[in-house]
């Protein structure tokens, strides 16, 4: 602990030294130079040093780590060249430092991409997956053209000593393209994504120890939107062909020759090739303070695309969502009601059906008093499918949530008082016939917050009272506590200091714990561009009675950072 505090003190001195150096050169005016030349350099960068120490439990992170990151942008004669980088010594299991660099220079309607980029063409083709590669986007007039090529995944080897990364992944490369017309809320885009695993990127001995096979995927998508005089239509669709095992020797003969010959130009087809589809579309009307929208969505079971990380699949739902404001916008309502089901291809032993409903009502009663109401109701019911399912295995349940949050603000010239109260109750009712499967539960969460802001003194103080109680069939857990804190601005608002102290009493199964969570934050902004900050946090857990389920421990976290905007 002493060594950690010593390192933390040294790092703080380093920040002070950087601050002194900044103050020595702050008199230099660089803005005029930027205005005289057609060259600008803007963006931000930061350096963070993190410290950690624990007693009574195993360390959750390294005693010391650092992170360097930035997003500078260079503009040369109208050409915008944004950069992005992250560098850290934090090691992954395959001993690779985490570092990413990328840029997307732009000139008028031409944008180039290079390095690590996150591009989205549609929700079902290329949808934000990180690619290390290069690409281009062209938007002359109403045309919308894009192309991207690069590496989506890098091969990871199996750790033969611990087996940590089993199964491994192959190096995966691919490309995506988009072409469309339109602007704003009136457009139509066609896109595709093609990716393939490199079977030679992993050693043969590692292939034998894993069940992961090299795969290939091609996805075609269409997205569009149209609006006219308040009426709007929007939608997306994706069609994915996925070969799970490129090495499979099983042939497929049920696909038509014309389709097989066409797809054969994009993907290797064999007995492991599967087809998925996903689509959603909506139609609605929007006028002044009234909006009503009807949406339909369907995603096939196991739908996947190598251009996206995750999909909620095997679902079909239809929803209607109205929203409106009345009484000069003092009363606003937004809600939705719909039906959802799974087991779209009758592959499961039962089908789950859900009623999805939610409502939010916000009322500004006076200029000072307001209240928000929230209500949700989700019911699930399973029905047997082709295979007989015992009643005790079926699920029929209803989940409901209701919340009320009144607020009251007293603004004055020198002081402002804010009162906020929140009450939230959630219930899950198990409607199964058998009493042996009683999974009913309910939770009640409440908190009250009072904040006073003393404007002339730049001082803010607050107190928070909170309580949470969860009741289950055979157990009760919960906590209640108080948090005190405040912040003050000094040196013409350049220096900000904040302190918070939280005391929490928790209980579970007869075991009670006292939790402490204390924090100290300090930041200094000598100018608009530079920020120096320090953050210290202490967490302590003190059980009333020591047991295997509860251990006495303490944690210390510290951070020293410097950020610059240029």
> Checking DSSP bridges between strand 476-490 and strand 553-565, what pairing results, if any?
unpaired
Q: What confidence category does residue 87 fall into, taking pLDDT thresholds of 50, 70 and 90? A: confident
Closest C-alpha to 537, from 501, 509, 510, 562: 501
What does the alpha-carbon distance between residue 517 and residue 423 come to, in Å, rounded to a whole number?
23
Cross-strand pairs, 322: 292
Non-local CB neighbours of 363 within 8 Å, separated by 6+ positions: 330, 331, 332, 370, 371, 372, 373
Q: What is the pLDDT of residue 370?
A: 96
Lookup: tokens for 264 = 């054969």
Give the pLDDT score at 22: 36
CB neighbours of residue 555 within 10 Å: 19
pLDDT tens by residue, 351-408: 788 888 899 999 999 999 999 999 988 765 555 544 444 444 444 456 788 999 999 9
Nearest to 54 by CA among 560, 558, 515, 479: 558
Closest CA to 468 of 422, 502, 511: 422
pLDDT-derived band of residue 14, with 50, 70 and 90 as boundaries? very low
| 169: pLDDT strictly greater than 90 | no
| DSSP state letter for 247 | T
Higher pLDDT, 5 or 46: 46
Write down the mean pLDDT value for the chain: 82
Which stretch of DSSP H or E encloses residue 346? none
Check residue 74 and give its pLDDT.
Answer: 79
Counting Cβ atoms within 10 Å, is residue 188 exposed (0-12), middle (13-18) or buried (19+)?
Answer: middle
Higher-pLDDT residue of 511, 76: 511
pLDDT digits over 532-558, tens only?
999 999 999 998 776 556 688 999 999
Q: How many CB atoms lie within 10 A of CB 11?
A: 20
The pLDDT value recorded for residue 336 is: 93
Q: How far is CA 10 from the centre of its chain?
A: 35
In the chain, the largest separation of any two C-alpha atoms, in whole Å, equals: 81
Tokens 């909620």 belong to 312
Most confident of 14-28, 90-104, 290-304: 290-304
pLDDT higher than 50, residue 15: no
pLDDT per residue as tens digits for the range 313-362? 888 999 999 999 999 889 999 999 999 888 888 887 777 888 888 999 99
pLDDT: which is higher, 396 or 287: 287
**DSSP letters of 23-51?**
HHHTT---HHHHHHSSEEEE-EEEEEEEE
Are the beta carbons of 177 and 205 closer than 8 angstroms?
Answer: no
Distance CA 169, CA 166 (A): 9
Q: What's the token pair of residue 194?
A: 């093609």
Q: For 74-83, 139-148, 336-345, 520-529, which range has the lowest pLDDT when averaged over its residues?
A: 74-83
Q: What is the pLDDT of residue 44?
A: 92
Among 540, 507, 561, which residue's Cα sits nearest to residue 44?
Answer: 561
pLDDT of residue 434: 53
Section 420-443 average pLDDT = 74
List CB contacts of 473: < 8 A, sequence separation 6 or more. 438, 439, 440, 441
DSSP letter assigned to residue 3:
H
Higher pLDDT, 158 or 194: 194
Question: Whole-prediction pTM value?
Answer: 0.70
pLDDT of residue 35 exceeding 80:
no
Strands, E assignment, 288-395: 290-299, 315-326, 331-341, 350-364, 369-384
pLDDT, one tens digit per residue, over 140-160 is 999 999 999 999 988 876 555
Please determine, for residue 189, whether its predicted confidence score (pLDDT) is greater than 90: yes
Confidence of residue 133 (pLDDT cuts 50, 70, 90): very high
How far apart CA 129 and CA 546 sit, in angstroms, is 47
Distance of CA 197 to the CA centre of its chain: 27
Predicted confidence (pLDDT) per residue in 230-270, tens digit: 999 999 999 999 999 988 888 776 666 766 777 878 888 88
Q: How far apart are CA 461 and CA 171, in angstroms?
A: 54
């Amino acid at each position: 602990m002493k060594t950690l505090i010593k390192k933390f003190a040294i790092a703080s001195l380093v920040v002070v030294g950087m601050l002194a150096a900044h103050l020595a050169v702050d008199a230099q005016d660089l803005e005029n130079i930027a205005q005289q030349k057609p060259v600008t350099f803007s963006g931000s960068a930061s350096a963070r040093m993190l410290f950690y120490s624990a007693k009574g439990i195993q360390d959750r992170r390294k005693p010391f780590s650092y992170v360097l990151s930035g997003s500078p942008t260079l503009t040369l004669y109208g050409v915008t060249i944004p950069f992005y980088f992250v560098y850290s010594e934090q090691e992954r299991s395959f001993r690779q430092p985490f570092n990413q660099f990328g840029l997307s220079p732009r000139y008028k309607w031409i944008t180039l991409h290079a390095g690590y980029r996150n591009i989205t063409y549609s929700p079902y083709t290329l949808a934000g997956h990180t690619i290390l590669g290069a690409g281009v986007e062209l938007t002359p007039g109403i045309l919308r053209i894009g192309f991207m090529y690069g590496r989506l995944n890098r091969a990871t080897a199996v750790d033969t000593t611990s087996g940590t990364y089993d199964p491994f992944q192959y190096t995966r490369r691919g490309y995506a393209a988009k072409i469309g017309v339109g602007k704003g809320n009136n457009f139509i885009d066609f896109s595709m994504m093609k990716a393939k695993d490199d079977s030679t990127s992993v050693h043969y001995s590692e292939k034998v120890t894993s069940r992961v096979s090299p795969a290939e995927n091609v996805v075609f998508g269409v997205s569009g939107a149209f609006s006219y005089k308040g009426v709007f239509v929007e939608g997306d669709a994706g069609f994915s062909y996925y070969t799970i095992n490129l090495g499979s020797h099983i042939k497929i003969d049920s696909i038509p020759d014309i389709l097989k010959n066409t797809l054969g130009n994009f993907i290797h087809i064999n007995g492991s090739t599967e087809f998925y589809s996903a689509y959603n579309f909506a139609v609605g009307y929007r006028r002044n303070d009234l909006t009503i929208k009807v949406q339909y969505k369907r995603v096939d079971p196991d739908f996947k695309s190598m251009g996206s990380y995750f999909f909620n699949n095997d679902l079909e739902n239809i929803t209607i969502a109205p929203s409106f404001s009345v009484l000069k916008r003092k009363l606003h309502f937004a809600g939705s009601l719909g039906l959802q089901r799974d087991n779209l291809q009758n592959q499961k032993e039962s089908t789950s059906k859900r009623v999805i409903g939610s409502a939010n009502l916000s009322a500004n009663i006076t200029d000072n008093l307001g209240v928000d109401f929230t209500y949700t109701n989700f019911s699930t019911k399973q029905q047997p499918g082709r295979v007989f399912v015992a009643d005790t295995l079926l699920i029929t349940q209803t989940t409901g949530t209701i919340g009320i949050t009144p607020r009251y603000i007293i603004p004055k010239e020198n002081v402002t008082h804010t009162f906020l109260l929140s009450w939230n109750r959630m219930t899950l009712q198990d409607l199964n016939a058998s009493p042996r499967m009683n999974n009913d539960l309910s939770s009640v969460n409440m908190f009250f917050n009072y904040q006073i802001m003393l404007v002339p003194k730049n001082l803010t103080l607050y107190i928070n009272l909170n309580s949470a109680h969860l009741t289950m069939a055979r157990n009760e857990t919960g906590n209640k506590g108080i948090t005190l804190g405040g912040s003050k601005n000094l040196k013409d608002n350049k220096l900000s200091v904040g302190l918070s102290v939280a005391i929490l009493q928790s209980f579970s199964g007869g075991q009670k714990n006292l939790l402490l969570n204390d924090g100290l934050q300090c930041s200094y902004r000598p100018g608009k561009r530079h920020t120096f900050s320090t953050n210290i946090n202490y967490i302590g857990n003190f059980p009333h009675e020591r047991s295997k389920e509860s251990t006495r421990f303490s944690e210390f976290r510290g951070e020293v950072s410097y950020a610059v905007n240029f």
